[in-house]
Amino acid sequence: MRARVLVRPKQGILDPQGQAVQRALPALGFTGVDNVHIGRMIELDVEDPSQLPEMCERLLANPLIEDYEIVESIAEPAHS
Amino acid sequence: MRARVLVRPKQGILDPQGQAVQRALPALGFTGVDNVHIGRMIELDVEDPSQLPEMCERLLANPLIEDYEIVESIAEPAHS
Amino acid sequence: MSATRSSASAKYRELGLTDHEYELIVDHLGREPNDVELAMLSLMWSEHCAYKHSKRLLRRLPTEGPHVLMGPGENAGAVDVGDGLAIAFKVESHNHPSAVEPFQGAATGVGGILRDVFAIGARPIAVLDSLRFGEPEASERSRYLLSQAVAGIGHYGNSIGVPTVGGEIYFEQSYEQNCLVNAMCLGLAPRARLIRAAAAGPGNVVVLLGALTGRDGIGGASVLASAELGEGDEAKRPSVQIGDPFSEKKLLECCLELLDRGLLTSLQDLGAAGLTSAVSEMASKGEVGIDIDLCRIPLREPGMEPFEIMVSESQERMLCVVAPECVGALLDVCERWEVLATPIGSVTTGDRLRVLQRGAAVADLPVKILVDDCPLYDLEPEPPEQPLYRPPTAVLNGTESAERVLLTLLRSANIASRRPVFEQYDPVVQSRTVRRPDEADAAVLALPGGAAIAVSIDGNGRRVACDPRRGAAEAVYECAANLACVGAEPLGLTNCLNFGNPEKPHVAWQLTEAVTGLAEACEQLGVPVVGGNVSLYNEAPTGPIFPTPVVGIVGRLPDAARAGRLAFGQEGDAIALVGPFDPSSAGSELAKLQGRAAAGKLPPIDPDAVAQAHRDVRDGVRSGALRSAHDIAEGGIAVALAECCIAGSIGATVTLPDGIDPFAEALGQGFIVSGPAEALAEMTVIGRVGGSALTIEDQLALAVSELRDARELGLSKLV
Amino acid sequence: MKFGVIRFPGSCDEVDALQAAARVGEAVLLWHADRDLQDVDAVIVPGGFSYGDYLRAGAIARFAPVMDEVAEFAREGGLVLGICNGFQVLCEAHLLPGALLPNDSLKFVFRQVVLEVVNADTAFTGACQEGERLSIPVKHTTGRFYAPDDELDRLEASGQVVLRYAPGHNPNGSRRDIAGVRNKRGNVFGLMPHPEHAVDLLTGSTDGLKIFESMRAYVGDPVLG
Ligand SMILES: Nc1ncnc2c1ncn2[C@@H]1O[C@H](COP(=O)(O)OP(=O)(O)O)[C@@H](O)[C@H]1O
Ligand SMILES: [Mg+2]
C-alpha cells in the first residue's frame, strides 16, 4: 500500500521557514496569505501499515518538535 | 481558506533523502518498506485560492525538479 | 513556617528554591512574592544564573593582565590586540538542551555565544566547539548525539557566516548520559566600539530587538501556569528552542550598525532567564531601575501569561538602552535590516525592576534581590576513597606489537582524524583564516595590518579525573602549547567548568582542585582569565561525568605569514624534541585502550621549564627557524610523530631518548619540531625527516600511507 | 572596471567577494531592496544563505527588487557571476540552466577541491588554459547540479559547461561532475566553488583570482570570449 506521512512543526514551536515565506509573498504580489507553515511529506510503499505510527515516532518525525499525520492508501506510487 | 501544497521530487531525480530513510528502516526493524520519497509540505491560509497554482509555479515549487499538488480547504488551521 | 508560606512551598520547591532561600526572599521583600516575581526569582537564583556553588571558587582565578580590556562580569571578555583593535571571546555550555534535542540544542548554543560576543560590540569572527559523548562504537545514542550536534553547530555557524575554525571531541563512557556541548566565539572590534551592558540615564528608552517572544524554553517555571495543562493545551507546554540563524544574522548586522552610528547607550543579549536576566543585569550594572510594559512585548503566541513572557528563552533577541532622541534613527536602521524593534520600557531613577501590565505592576522587585542577594554556598570537598569511574572495556591486552598499538591508537575515536566533523563546518568565510583545521595546532586568523591571532580550545576529562589539579593545569599548558606551535603568545583565557553535582563532596573536591590547578597554571604562564561559564549537575544515576574544565586561549603573533604548521615539510630536515617531557602511562589513551581505569597521579609539571619550552618553540616559529612544530598530546610521542608525517605526506626516522615510552603522555610540555639541522643545533635532535615510512628505532616502522588510512578511518563510520 | 556585489539578507560571502573583486578593479555593494545597479560593469551574486535558504536555496532571493535589474542587465549582455548561493539564485531566476539539489551526502561539505577548466574561451575563464586545474574551496549543502540528460548534452555541446570537478573531487554528486555553467549567450556564469576564497596565498590558493581577472580582461576588451 502506498502511504503518505505529513510532518509539521508542533504548534507553539518556532517555524522560521514558514515565517520567511510568509514575509516574502506580498512582495511577489500574493496578498491575503497568512499563517504559513512548512513541513515535510514522506511517501512510501508499506506492506504493514500498522507499523506506520511507530515509524513516525522513531524515524520519520521528531516527536519533540514535530506533529505527524498518516494518510493511508493514497493513489498510485508517485514514482516507479 | 486553509490550503495545503505538497511538493515532491520529480520522477527519475535522485532522492538521497528518501534513500537514506529507506536504508535506515530495516535497522529499526521495519521491513517491507519500499519506494520512499521525501518532499515538502506547505500549509497556509489563503483568501483567494485561485492564486495557488501561480504561487506554486513561481515560488513554492521549482517545476524543473519538483511536482506539486494543491489540496484546497483542509481542516482547521493547524496553528493559531 | 506560616500557613500561607507552606501553601506556597509546593511551588517554590518545584521551582528549585530551598526553604532557606525562600525565607530569605520573603525577609528581603518583607512579603511573599507573587507568582510572576517567584518565576523571576527562581531563575535568577538558579545555579545557572547565580553561580551559587562556584562564584566563591572562581575568585581564585587571576583576572588581571596588561592586555585585558574587559574581564569576568561582562557578556564576554576582551583583550587588546594592538592597532586599536580588541578581541572579545567567551565559551559557554549548552549541555542539557543538547541532550534533549542535539541538533537544535547545539545550534542554539552557537547562537547564544554569538550574541554574548556581539553584545559587547564585537563582530563574531570565529567559532570553536568542544564536545563530549559516550563511546561511539558501543552506543548508537552517542553516534546520534554526535552527528546531530555537529550538524547543528555547522547549521548555525555556516548559515550566519561565522567560520568554525577549531574545536575538540572526546568520547568517554562517563558522558553517555550527559553529553557536553560547549561553544566558544571570538569577536573583533575597534576598541572604541566595545560597549558594556550597564543601563544608564533615567528617561532613556529600553528597546527589545529581534524575534517575537514565544513559549520557548520556559522549562520548570511552567508549573506556574494558572490553569492545569490538559489535552489540547500542547501550545502551553514549554517548548524546545529552534535556532534561526537567518534572524540572528540580521540582528547581528543591525546591532553593529546601531553601534557604529553611536545610537546605543548599552546593549545586552537575552539568554538564560530571558528578559528577566537581561533587564536585571542591565539595571544592576548601571545602578538604575527599569520599568517594563508587558503589553508592548510582541508575542508569537496568544494568551501568554506575564511570567511566561518574563522568563521566555526565545532565541535571537537583544535588549538595548537608547536616548529618547535616538529612537527614531534606531527604528530606521532596524527597519532596513528587517529587524523588529519595540520600545518596551524605560530606565528609572531608584533601584526597582517593575513589570507593568495596563498600568498595574505585576512584578515589583528591588534589582538587588534579583542579582545580588542569592546566597553563595561554600563547597564541602572530600577526595573519594575509591575510584569514581569504572574501567573502560579493553581493546588491547598489552601483548601487542608497537606497530599494532600505534595503528589502534590512530584509529581510536579520541585520536582519529576529525575530518568527518570539520568538513561540515565552513572555516574560511570572512577571509581571515590563515590556518585551518589539521594544518596547525591552533587556528590562525589574520588581523588587518599583517599580525594575526591564534586560538585553541582544550580539556582532557580523563586526565582531570585521574588528578584534578594537574589535569586542569595540563589543559592550560596544552592550550598554550598549541598557540606556541603557530608562534602565538597567549593574551587571555576563557573556560567552561563542566562538572557533576557540586553538593556531593567528591565532585566538590574535583571542582576545587581543578579550579586551583587552573589558577596556578594561569599564574605561572601569566595568562589572565577574562571570562567563562560553569555547567554543574552533569550527573547520571551511574555517577558524574569526568570533571571537564574546557580551556580556550587567544594569543597573538606579529606576522601572519610566519604562522607555524604541524606538517613535516622537507626531506632531510632534523627533528628535535623540545621541553621537559617526562610522560607516564597514567590517564593515557593507551591505558584506556588497555581497559585501565582513570586513576593514578599525572607526571609533575616543571612550570619554569615548560614556560621556557613554550617560548623556545614560539620564537623558533616566529623567526622562521622551525619548519614545523607540534605539541605532544594524546597517544604520546609516537602519535605526535605520526601526525607530523601524515600531514606532510613524508616519513621520518627517529631514536627516542632513553626511557621514553612512545605512547606515554604528559600534555602541553613536550614538542616535536623540525627544521634545517643548523637551526636545531641547540636542541635535542632525535631524528630526520624523509622517506615514506615512520621509523622509531627498536620500536616500529610503518608506511605513512598505512598511518593515514588508520587515522582517516577512525571516525568516518561514526559521524 | 567596476564590480557590484549584491547583499541580500542572509548573504555571508558578499564582503569576501567585494574584497576579491577589489583586487582587480573597483567594487561596491548593491543592496537587495535598491533598483540601482550604480553603473557597474559586472554583477556578482555572492555566496551565503540568502533568506536562510528557507523553502529552497535561492528561491526567495530571486524575487528581491535588485534581481529585476540584474535580469535586465543580463538581457543587455552585462556580466553576471553567481557564486554558490548566487549560482542557486541565478538558476531559480532562470538566468542559468539547471538546478541545484541537496548534496548526495545530505551534509554540508567544506573541501578544497580541484577543478578542471572545460571551456577557457569565456568571459569568466579567459585568463585560464583549457584543461587547467584550479584549487578552490567548496562549501555548501545544496550543490548537486542537475539538468535532464538532453539538456546536459546540449550544455556540453554548446560549451556552456565551463568548470568540472576533477576526477575524484565531485563533492556533492553533481551530474557529469559539473561545477560551473554559463548561459547560452555567455554573459552569465554560475559556479558552486568559491573563487573569492582563493585569492591570497596567506589564506589558501590564488587560483580563484583568475575568474576575476578574466572578467576584467573581458570588459576591457569585449572582443575576447
Ligand atoms: N569559569 C569561569 N571563569 C571565569 N569567569 C566566569 C566563569 N564562569 C562564568 N564567568 C563569568 O560570569 C559572568 C556570568 O556568566 P554567564 O551567566 O555565562 O554570562 P551570560 O549570562 O552573559 O552568558 C560572565 O561574565 C562570565 O564570563
Ligand atoms: Mg550574556
pLDDT tens-place string over residues D63-85: 999 999 999 999 999 999 999 99
Beta strands in C358-476 (DSSP E): 360-366, 433-435, 443-446, 452-458
D225: confidence class by pLDDT, cuts 50, 70, 90:
very low
Name the amino acid, one letter, at C424. Q
pLDDT of residue D222: 53
pLDDT over 90 at C225, yes or no: no
Name the amino acid, one letter, at D56. R
Name the amino acid, one letter, at C323. A
* Phi, psi (degrees; rounded to nearest 5) at C532: 165, -160
pLDDT of residue C7: 61
Residue A41 to residue B41, Cβ atoms within 8 A: yes
Taking a C-beta distance cutoff of 8 angstroms, is the pair C184, C458 a contact? no
Q: What residues of A are in contact with residue B59 (Cβ under 8 Å)? A: 21, 24-25, 28, 30
Q: Which of C159, C300, C316 to mutate to test the interface with A (most CBs of A within 10 A)?
A: C300
User: Residue D223: is it exposed, middle or buried by C-beta count within 10 angstroms (0-12/13-18/19+)?
Assistant: exposed
B76: confidence class by pLDDT, cuts 50, 70, 90:
low
Give me chain D's average pLDDT, please.
Answer: 96
Residue identifier of the C-alpha nearest atom 17 of ligand 1: C49
**Which residue of D10, D19, D54 is in closest CB contact with C249?**
D10
Contacts of C340 (CB under 8 A, 6+ apart): C209, C210, C211, C212, C298, C334
* Phi, psi (degrees; rounded to nearest 5) at B66: -135, 145
Taking a C-beta distance cutoff of 8 angstroms, is the pair D128, D214 a contact? yes
pLDDT over 70 at C232, yes or no: no
Name the DSSP letter for residue A47.
S
* Cα gap C410→C707, rounded to integer Å: 7
Residue B37 to residue A24, Cβ atoms within 8 A: no
ipTM greater than 0.90, yes or no? yes
Q: What residues of D are in contact with residue C154 (Cβ under 8 Å)? A: 108
CB atoms within 10 A of CB D97: 22
With a pLDDT cut of 70, the percent of chain D lying above it is 98
pLDDT of residue D41: 97
Residue D55 to residue A16, Cβ atoms within 8 A: no
Helix residue ranges, H only, C549-606:
589-593
* Phi, psi (degrees; rounded to nearest 5) at B76: -5, 140
B80: confidence class by pLDDT, cuts 50, 70, 90:
very low
What CA–CA distances, in Å, run from C507 to C54, C517, C546? 12, 15, 10
* Cα gap D82→D198, rounded to integer Å: 16
Q: What is the mean pLDDT of residues C270-291?
A: 96
CB atoms within 10 A of CB C424: 24
* Cα gap C117→C191, rounded to integer Å: 14
Residue B45 to residue A59, Cβ atoms within 8 A: no
Give the chain A residue nearest B79 (alpha carbons): A11
Query: Is C53 an active-site residue?
Result: no
Residue D60 to residue A21, Cβ atoms within 8 A: yes
Residue identifier of the C-alpha nearest atom 8 of ligand 1: C533
Query: Is D194 an active-site residue?
Result: yes
Tell me the pLDDT tens digit for each residue of C364-420.
999 999 999 999 999 999 999 988 999 999 999 999 999 999 999 999 999 999 999
With a pLDDT cut of 90, the percent of chain C lying above it is 93
pLDDT of residue C376: 96
Candidate list C53, C67, C94, C506, residue with the active-site label? C94
Give me chain C's average pLDDT, please.
Answer: 95
Give the chain C residue nearest D49 (alpha carbons): C159
Per the structure block, which three cell numbers stand in for D54? 528557507
**Which residue of D63, D101, D103 is in closest CB contact with B65?**
D101
pLDDT over 90 at C226, yes or no: no
pLDDT of residue A28: 84
* Touching subunits for chain B (3+ Cβ pairs under 8 A): A, C, D
3-state helix/strand/coil string of C101-121? CHHHHHHHHHHHHHHHHHCCC
Instruction: Calculate how close chain B gets to A21, using CA atoms only, in Å.
Output: 9
Tell me the pLDDT tens digit for each residue of C451-501.
999 999 999 999 999 999 999 999 999 999 999 999 999 999 999 999 999
User: Residue C682: is it exposed, middle or buried by C-beta count within 10 angstroms (0-12/13-18/19+)?
Assistant: exposed
Contacts of C243 (CB under 8 A, 6+ apart): C104, C107, C108, C110, C111, C152, C155, C156, C315
What CA–CA distances, in Å, run from D115 to C148, C371, C415, D12, D164? 31, 58, 32, 23, 6
pLDDT of residue D186: 97
3-state helix/strand/coil string of chain D? CEEEEEECCCECCHHHHHHHHHCCCEEEEEECCCCCCCCCCEEEECCECHHHHCCCCCCCHHHCHHHHHHHHHHHCCCEEEEECHHHHHHHHCCCCCCEEECCCCCCCEEEEEEEEECCCCCCCCCCCCCCCEEEEEEEECCCEEECCHHHHHHHHHCCCEEEEECCCCCCCCCHHHEEEEECCCCCEEEECCCHHHCCCHHHCCCCCHHHHHHHHHHHHCCCCC
Name the DSSP letter for residue C665.
B
Question: Containing H/E element for B37?
Answer: strand B33-46
pLDDT over 60 at C227, yes or no: no
Tell me the pLDDT tens digit for each residue of C314-325.
999 999 999 999
Collect the ranges in chain A with pLDDT lower than 70. Answer: 76-80
**Which residue of B20, B60, B62 is in closest CB contact with D99?**
B62
Taking a C-beta distance cutoff of 8 angstroms, is the pair C186, C126 a contact? yes
- Chain D contact for C585, CB < 8 A? no
Residues with CB under 6 A from ligand 1: C 58, 61, 72-75, 90, 92, 116, 271-272, 495, 497, 529, 531-534
pLDDT over 70 at C224, yes or no: no
- Chain A contact for C216, CB < 8 A? yes
Burial D11-42 (b: 16+ CB within 10 A, else e): bbbbbbbbbbbeebbebebbebeeeebeebbb
Tell me the pLDDT tens digit for each residue of D108-157.
999 999 999 999 999 999 999 999 999 999 999 999 999 999 999 999 99
